[in-house]
Amino acid sequence: MKLKNLRDIKNLKGKRVLLRVDFNVPIRDGKVANDTRIQVSIPTIEFLLKEKAKVIILTHLGRPDGKVDEGLRLDPVAQRLEELLKINVKKLDDCVGGGVAAEIEKMQEGEVILLENTRFHSAEKTNEQNFVKQLASLGDVFVNDAFGVAHRTHASNFGLAKKLPAYAGLSLVREVETLSQIIENPKKPLVLVLGGAKIDTKIGTLKKFSQIADTILLGGGLANTFLAAEGFELGESLYEKDKLEIAKEISAEAHQNNCKLILPSDAVCLDASETIAEDSQIKIFPTNAIPVSTRVLDIGAKSICQFSEIIQKAKTVVWNGPVGLFEFGPFEKGSKKITEACVQTAAVTILGGGDTITAIEKFKIPPKTFTHISTGGGAMLEFLEGKKMPAIEILQ
């Protein structure tokens, strides 16, 4: 997939560039708790500033459902962006309207304005055309660097790309090139590691990788559903009873395609009557002998060893979703050891998903340690599945 990118723009000097980024970052105590998604768009912003453009940044934050939510304003994001760019970033209190237009009119070359959360307007998600026109009137050129919403037809990505000369940012280009390589010509053996709670968003990816991967390793609530489908007793563990048939179907497809689908052989468990806490008293059981009074919250030591060995021998590793309840110390070991295995392997390592990024942040592993960290969780899965990505296809 060849995209028009910002390096193809002839002259940016003095141009008003509407730059869509994905700064949907966690905010805690009024500060950005993890700035990975901001960091990845810094090269694009710096490129535009070097070319003397006027940079007008659009992003969403959280799910305010088309209403102003004071807790989802972008002031902490503006503060962190200023620190990273080492220049002043002017943050406005809306993304459209006369006041916004007046501030942009006063912009000088090489200045940056951050518009307010686009999702404070319900018209953003519906791609309402009057809203698109208002946004488009603020710029001369549109650059999309927001891979995390590339599967959405929203006003600030797809809508703007239809109204203005549109190009991909440097981060978006890298996402597309890296993930395309996984689908089209991966270095083998190719190993997919999938965790998280639910199977719904991962069905397509599992079906696709059962055709192209050598091994699929499953953890988290996702693995529980597959274990239940095989008839294992899981006590009070989280799994999806209505997805057992699809789990059986995926397992059968993997077997037919000579793809090894490996489930945990042991699990870290907690008595169902106990509250999950930092001092929880854990027990480890084989997955074929889980007591009815317990719940599975992480993969066990034998599974960690098996998964790590497979990752070590891989040439390409794709990981999306923690394999346990990593937020709590007693249940973090599985995800931590998978992270360490990805660090130690010589393979190409592609990681994605918000919880995965949060996990490696908790384990204090620098993002640059991995070949690529995708800023889009759902977008990454849909791209790898082969689904249409409207906001990307329009940039071809």
When pLDDT is averaged across residues 145-167 and rounded to a whole number, the result is: 96
pTM of the predicted model as reported, rounded to 2 decimal places: 0.89
Average pLDDT over the chain, rounded to an integer: 95
Quick one: pLDDT band at residue 110, thresholds 50, 70, 90? Answer: very high
Distance between CA 338 and CA 80 in Å, rounded? 30
Q: What is the pLDDT of residue 377?
A: 82
When pLDDT is averaged across residues 74-101 and rounded to a whole number, the result is: 97
When pLDDT is averaged across residues 171-177 and rounded to a whole number, the result is: 95
- For tokens 């799910």, what's the residue? 63
> Amino acid identity, residue 229?
A
When pLDDT is averaged across residues 96-111 and rounded to a whole number, the result is: 97
Quick one: pLDDT band at residue 366, thresholds 50, 70, 90? Answer: confident
Catalytic site positions: 37, 198, 354, 378
Residue in 206, 214, 203 with CA at minimum distance from that of residue 259 = 214
Options 3.40.50.10490, 3.40.50.1110, 3.40.50.1260, 3.90.110.10; CATH of 6-172: 3.40.50.1260
When pLDDT is averaged across residues 330-337 and rounded to a whole number, the result is: 97
Same fold, 6-172 and 186-385: yes
Quick one: pLDDT band at residue 41, thresholds 50, 70, 90? Answer: very high
Q: What is the pLDDT of residue 2?
A: 87
Parse the chain into domains and list their residue ranges.
6-172, 186-385
Q: What is the pLDDT of residue 34?
A: 87
Q: What is the pLDDT of residue 197?
A: 84
Structure-block tokens of residue 23: 């700064």
Fold of 186-385: Rossmann fold (3.40.50)
- Does 262 score more than 80 pLDDT? yes
Whether omega for the bond prior to residue 291 falls within 30 degrees of 0, making it cis, is no
- Does 1 score more than 80 pLDDT? no
pLDDT digits (tens, 9 = 90+) for 58-82: 999 999 999 999 999 999 999 999 9
When pLDDT is averaged across residues 291-316 and rounded to a whole number, the result is: 97
Quick one: pLDDT band at residue 378, thresholds 50, 70, 90? Answer: confident
- Does 367 score more than 90 pLDDT? no
Quick one: pLDDT band at residue 266, thresholds 50, 70, 90? Answer: very high
